[in-house]
Structure formats: structure tokens, C-alpha cells
Amino acid sequence: MAKIHVTTQDGEKMEIEADANGDSLMEILRDNGIELEAICGGVCSCATCHIYVDDAWGEKLPARSDDEYELVSSTEHYQESSRLSCQIPFKAELDGITLTVAPEE
């Protein structure tokens, strides 16, 4: 099992273990009880699965699509490290990733 280090919206730090089989980070977070709206269910049509990915992991992530950038950059809490967790498949190279769930809009 691979690990994901998460800081929740409440500031709680936790470690999640998950299979690195390509499921989206959004699915893994949601399935492990992390508060995350994820209204669109992972089709990149909202920004309710907004996370901040630790800068050390930025280059290991897939490139942000124009649609993802448009959605996430329009949020009140946008940062350079902002991503939509539904657009990041969790694979072996992300074992140990550190992220923070962004505040709700």
C-alpha cells in the first residue's frame, strides 16, 4: 500500500494508505472520510475537490489541463500549488505525496 499525507480543512494531519492503481486522489480522499465535496464526481466541471499539493511533488504530477486551470484559478483560495484532486491519478510514483485540502468556497 502507498501513502498519502493529508492536512484536512480543519488542520488535522493524517496518513492514508491506498492502492496506487490509478484511482483519482479525489476518490481516495472521499472514500477515506476526508471532507471534500466533489460535487461533479470527478469530471472536471467544478472545483469542489480543490487541494494544494506540496511543492516537492509538483513535477511528479500530470500536467494541469486548460480546463482544470480555468476552474481552479477562478476559486477564491487559488495558489500556484492548487490542483483538482479528481484530475490526479494515484500511481506508485506519488507514494508519500503531501497535500492539503483547500478551504470550501
How many independent structural domains does the chain possess? 1
Per residue in 5-46, pLDDT (tens digit) is: 999 999 999 999 999 999 999 999 999 999 999 999 999 999
What is the pTM for the complete model shown?
0.95
What does the pLDDT read at residue 78?
98
The contacts of residue 69 (CB under 8 Å, 6+ apart) are: none
Amino acid at 63: A
CA 103 to chain centre: 12
The contacts of residue 1 (CB under 8 Å, 6+ apart) are: 17, 18, 19
What does the pLDDT read at residue 105?
86
Residue 26, domain extent: 2-101
Give the domain CATH number at 42: 3.10.20.30
CA-based nearest residue to 44, from 73, 20, 65: 65
Interatomic CA distance for residues 41 and 27, integer angstroms:
9
What does the pLDDT read at residue 67?
97
Per residue in 43-99, pLDDT (tens digit) is: 999 999 999 999 999 999 999 999 999 999 999 999 999 999 999 999 999 999 999
